[in-house]
Structure formats: C-alpha cells, structure tokens
Amino acid sequence: MRNHVARTGRASARRCSAVCALFPTVFALLFLYGCAAVGSALDPVPDEPARPSAELEPEEVVRIQLEAFAAADGEDLDGELLYSFASPDFRAAFDGPEEFADHFTRRPYGALVGHREARYRPLELEGRFARQEVTVVTDEGEERRYGFLLLEQTGGDCDGCWLVESVRAFLD
C-alpha cells in the first residue's frame, strides 16, 4: 500500500509541476486578454462633430469656430461645421457651406485659417447678443484681431442656441 501511495504521490507531483509550470503562462494570457477586453470597452468614443446646442455658451461657440479655422490649411476648411454655427441671417448671405468657407480663406479673414494661437478678450454679453474679440497669431507671427457677434436664437430647431451673426476683421 505504501508503494502505491508513493507511486501515485510521485505521479501527482509530476502532474502538479507540469500544471504549475503552465500557470504563469496561462495567467499572463488571461490577464492580457482581460486587459484588452476592458481597455477596448473603456476606450473613448471618437468625438462627434460639434453641433449647435442650447447647452453651449457663446465662448464655446467661438472656440469651436476657431478650432476649426486653426485645424485647416485652406484646402480642408470645415465649411459644414462653420456654416452650422452661423445664424440664419448670416447663412443667407452665402450659397451654402462651401461658399461660406471660401469667404474666410480670403482677405481680411485668411489669417484665421491655420492660425497657431488664439487669445480671447473677455466676452461682452448684452441680452441675447454676445461679442467676443479674439486675436489670432499666424504661423508667420502676424497678429490679427477679429470680433465675433453672436445672437441667442429664439424658436425653431435651435431655440436657445448661440449662433454667429457676423465676424468682423479689425484692420489695425
């Protein structure tokens, strides 16, 4: 009987050592798989394009516009985004998003496109109107000032949204 116990004990020890030797590898694979699964579940969802919303403050609308200008090099200016934040009266002066974007690639607005820095002055708010002055710095180091006039919309699909009514270039 002792001999039987000794033989089964040795066999168990061999099985254990084989399993124990695999344990770190199996554990590592399970750990990595688990991390990958959790990591992919926690990865941020790609940002959707900004849209006018009553939740956006006037400063945020100007920031969204300026980020779109800064991200462009002239050829890829996001006219759809810029146009979507324009008030109905501002849009009416253009024949759609492409013409709207093209307007901002020419003087005196061309410095907005591809600028490297934007400095914001304090927002002026009066009723449903907001005015935001911004100085942009071009890649060449040139500074240009612009004034964004925004109007809080009433009624319709964009009730309570702040939209750009006009952009004025200050020719210093």
- Tokens linked to 77: 């200016």
Rg, Å, the chain Cα set: 30
pLDDT value at position 76?
78
pLDDT value at position 49?
65
pLDDT value at position 40?
39
**Would you call the peptide bond into 108 cis, given omega within 30 degrees of 0 as the criterion?**
yes
pLDDT value at position 36?
42
pLDDT value at position 50?
85
Structural domain boundaries of the chain? 1-45, 58-170
> Comparing C-alpha atoms, which of 49, 46, 74, 76 is closest to residue 64?
49
Contact 156, 96 (CB under 8 A): no
pLDDT value at position 51?
92
pLDDT value at position 171?
86
* Alpha-carbon gap, residue 75 to 55, rounded angstroms: 31
Give every residue of the chain whose pLDDT is below 50, as ranges: 5-6, 12, 16, 19-20, 22-23, 26-46
CATH of 58-170, one of 3.10.450.50, 3.40.190.10, 3.30.930.10, 1.10.1050.10: 3.10.450.50
pLDDT value at position 35?
40
- Tokens linked to 107: 């003087």
pLDDT value at position 93?
96
In degrees rounded to 5, what are phi and psi of residue 105? -90, -10
Contact 69, 112 (CB under 8 A): yes
